[in-house]
Amino acid sequence: MNRRSWIKLAVLVGYLAFIATSAATGFSPGKQIGSNFIYFWADLIKVLPFAFVLIGLFEVWVDRQTVERHLGAESGAGGYLWAIVLSGITVGGVFVAFPVAHSLHKKGAALGVIFTYIGASAVCRIPMNLFELSFMGPKFTAIRLAVSLPLVILSSAMLGRYLEKQNYQIQGG
């Protein structure tokens, strides 16, 4: 094992020792951290396997030319619109958004469109909007989306152009 692997292992062992010691001594913050870890781990186990199956199917069924046409560098404003639509129907939050974004990158989507997808997946998922709508009301939700989405698109487009001018390459893509 290299040095980096040893450090990761030491951090993991230290974390587990802290949780076990907290449970044994009744240290409330440590017990809460352990409880939160189990809760989030259970959420991941419920979502990720299905998400990865769907991403695998996307990899096989959707060809590169289709992604490049609708989400690529030449897609224009339509690419950003498709990214928002795709992010709206994505379930699972960032657990799913980042693997989908990686898949889109491998299929030829433009960086700005990928950034829009990631940003919009945090802003406009349909289940989240319905929940917000029921508690905060339609006016709040409409104002939030009207302010958030243009800012997501603008910042994504600017960042994408900047990185493309710098010939930036996403690692692992």
pLDDT tens, residue by residue, 31-78: 999 999 999 899 888 888 888 888 888 889 988 999 999 999 888 899
Are the C-beta atoms of residues 127 and 91 closer than 8 Å to each other? Answer: yes
Residues 39 and 68 grouped into a single domain: no
Residues 140 and 67 grouped into a single domain: yes
Residues 139 and 84 grouped into a single domain: yes
Per-residue pLDDT at 84 exceeds 60: yes
* 54 within a domain of the structure (yes/no): no
Main-chain phi, psi angles of 166, to 5 degrees: -85, 0
Residues 74 and 130 grouped into a single domain: yes
Q: What angle do CA 170, 70, 108 make, to 5 degrees?
A: 25
Taking the C-alpha atoms of residue 82 and residue 121, their distance in angstroms, rounded to an integer, is 12
- How many Cβ atoms from other residues are within 10 Å of residue 103's Cβ? 19
Number of domains in the chain: 2
| Tens digit of each residue's pLDDT (9 = 90 or more) over 94-121 | 778 898 999 999 999 999 999 999 999 9
**Those residues with Cβ within 8 angstroms of residue 119's Cβ, 6 or more apart along the chain or in another chain:** 152, 155, 156
Task: Give the pLDDT band (50/70/90) at residue 162.
Answer: very high
Its pTM stands at: 0.78
Are the C-beta atoms of residues 117 and 153 closer than 8 Å to each other? Answer: no
Taking the C-alpha atoms of residue 160 and residue 53, their distance in angstroms, rounded to an integer, is 29
Residues 74 and 137 grouped into a single domain: yes
* 53 within a domain of the structure (yes/no): no
Expressed as residue numbers, the domain containing 15 is 1-46
